[in-house]
Amino acid sequence: MSLLRYEDFCISFGAGRREKFAVNHLDLEIGVGERVALVGESGSGKTLTALAPLRLEPEGAKISGKILWNKKDGQGTVDLLSLPIDSIREIRGREIAMIFQEPMTALNPLFTIGNQIIEAVQIYQPLISKSDCADAAIDLLRKTGITEPEHRFYSYPHQLSGGQRQRAMIAMALACKPRLLIADEPTTALDVSLRLQILELLKELQEESKDHGGMGILLITHDLNLVKHFAQRVAVLNQGNLMEAGPTKQVFEHPTDPYTRALVNSEPVRELAPVMPLAPVLLKTDNLSVAYPSSESVAWFKKAPPHKVLKKVSFQLKQGQTIGVIGESGSGKTTLGMAVLGLLGDSAALVSGDVDILGKDWQALKPIERRAMRSSLQVIFQDPFGSLSPRMNVMQIIAEGLDIHYPTLSAAERESRVVDMLKEVGLDRSALTRYPHEFSGGQRQRIAIARALILRPQILVLDEPTSALDVSIQKQVLALLSELQKKYNLAYLMISHDLAVIRAMSHEMMVLKEGRVMEFGDTETMIAHPKQVYTKELFAAAELT
């Protein structure tokens, strides 16, 4: 039985010759109690399709076609696009609820989690008393698996972890027992184990909803591995066009459309060059530890001990080698990268242990000496848009390092080096005068790579370099990084929570948990035969999601 059905649905922007269709003549159906996934790359129209039933499309969007909603108790269907906004407000939350991609921005930072859930319940059930609403909110938090729900009820969003915030969002969405749940990239910012937990939670809640008819779920994602283990049917969008739709197993095992085949086969490929037997050690840490002073007190006269984020981490990174660092949020991955880069010195962090860069004691160097060595040690960040200045064009962004480390270069020499580096990363001279917002996510990451490599470094710290990218673009960027490593014999310290990326890119792997190294060794051997229980659970979650 159909719950929601798109018929000849279109969204366009602009007018006349400049009119551009973001979603083009879409036909799609979500059944009662069914899990349907809508997949595709950025710009394919997934989120616009998800927002349309709630009439949350951006200003200036032109909509045509129909979105037919099956009323309660078999009262027929209604076209949501023809309803006045007041009628849509009656459907929002009560019948159709939504989980947004980033819970930190979707939750109000000025109100407690409990107050925000109570507000959702009171809007749609005004006759319920506030105390009953509070009890219902705590019960919802408990159902979503949040520990100590009575305590978390009084917490603010910033006091919760990413997984807890996402669970609180789910509790809010389910407060009024909707018949359809739209989940827009609900696990993108979460670690593999948390992704598995959220998926299992949604399945459990959907099973419980059978008592009142069965809740349908529309999942919007670009994570194909997640879709395989969650959705019953899948629809593939490309530039607003529906390329293929059908049962999940059929679409993944026997895709008929070339675009779908390319998407399904976008798993990162392992093409590593072996590390030379006598390759020099470029980066070495010995008992590296990081702690932060605690603001809490154990007694009125005594401060609590420092909070240890990293605990005695030791490893050696050789020329031409990649060491992959994997672990859950809060495991110390990014702190390790920042400590190696020497970017914790100006904070309250308490750093101990040794870090040697190119044979020199990194922490003992004077600021002027460390600055001179920074050309040998560069970093590529997770979010290419956030790491590139919007006020600088590509020429200025890439040449900035040259201005600092090679101030005697002429303008012509600087431009020549920048153009050569753009070619290395697959871009051309026409990019020089353009700004970051004019490029796609994959192109922006290529610009970030060019900015790092223009100084001819020997070591690169890669902090989640592809997590913000679509799977096909991710594969291209990883192939580029692999090619550059072979060409320039670069050493990579790659931080990621994506096991597929670590498997494809790293010679050796380090598993972190709560700042400690749980397991360290050859990547292929560890994946085939993990020794620690935590490592086994982490790898199992990665395979299942």
CA gap 114, 295 in Å, rounded: 25
| 501-514 pLDDT, tens digit each | 999 999 999 999 98
The mean pLDDT value for 30-34 works out to 92
What SS3 state is found at 368? helix
Taking Cα atoms as reference points, which of 211, 217, 206, 224 lies closest to residue 263? Answer: 224
Question: Exposed, middle or buried: residue 368 (CB in 10 Å: 0-12, 13-18, 19+)?
Answer: exposed
251 within 8 A of 236, measured Cβ to Cβ? yes
Residue 539 has pLDDT above 90, yes or no: no
Taking Cα atoms as reference points, which of 517, 522, 527 lies closest to residue 272? Answer: 522
For residue 296, what pLDDT band results from cuts at 50, 70 and 90?
Answer: low
The mean pLDDT value for 200-218 works out to 83
Q: What is the average pLDDT score of the chain?
A: 88
The identity of residue 296, as a single letter, is E
Q: What is the pTM of this model?
A: 0.79
Taking Cα atoms as reference points, which of 239, 237, 230 lies closest to residue 257? Answer: 237
CA gap 339, 335 in Å, rounded: 6
| 329-383 pLDDT, tens digit each | 778 898 899 999 988 865 678 889 999 999 999 888 888 888 889 999 999 987 7
Residue 285 has pLDDT above 90, yes or no: yes
pLDDT reported for residue 255: 93
The mean pLDDT value for 384-410 works out to 91
The identity of residue 251, as a single letter, is V
List the 281-292 sheet strands across, edge first.
307-318, 281-292, 350-357, 360-361
40 within 8 A of 221, measured Cβ to Cβ? no
The mean pLDDT value for 302-326 works out to 90
Residue 145 has pLDDT above 80, yes or no: no
| 76-113 pLDDT, tens digit each | 899 999 999 999 988 888 889 998 877 777 888 899 99
Query: How many Cα atoms within 13 Å fall on the side-chain side of residue 397?
Result: 28
| 407-427 pLDDT, tens digit each | 999 999 999 999 999 999 999
* Comparison of pLDDT for 461 and 176, the residue scoring more: 461
- E strands in 15-145: 20-31, 35-39, 62-70, 77-79, 96-99
For residue 532, what pLDDT band results from cuts at 50, 70 and 90?
Answer: very high
The mean pLDDT value for 527-534 works out to 92
Q: What percent of the chain has pLDDT over 70?
A: 94
Q: Which sequence spans correspond to the domains of the chain?
A: 104-177, 281-294+305-544
Distances, alpha carbon 157 to alpha carbons 101, 198, 260, 275, 504, in Å: 15, 18, 38, 45, 35
- E strands in 104-189: 180-184
Indicate the fold that domain 281-294+305-544 takes in CATH.
Rossmann fold (3.40.50)
pLDDT reported for residue 222: 77
Query: How many Cα atoms within 13 Å fall on the side-chain side of residue 213?
Result: 17
CA gap 162, 146 in Å, rounded: 12
* Comparison of pLDDT for 294 and 279, the residue scoring more: 279
Question: Exposed, middle or buried: residue 361 (CB in 10 Å: 0-12, 13-18, 19+)?
Answer: exposed
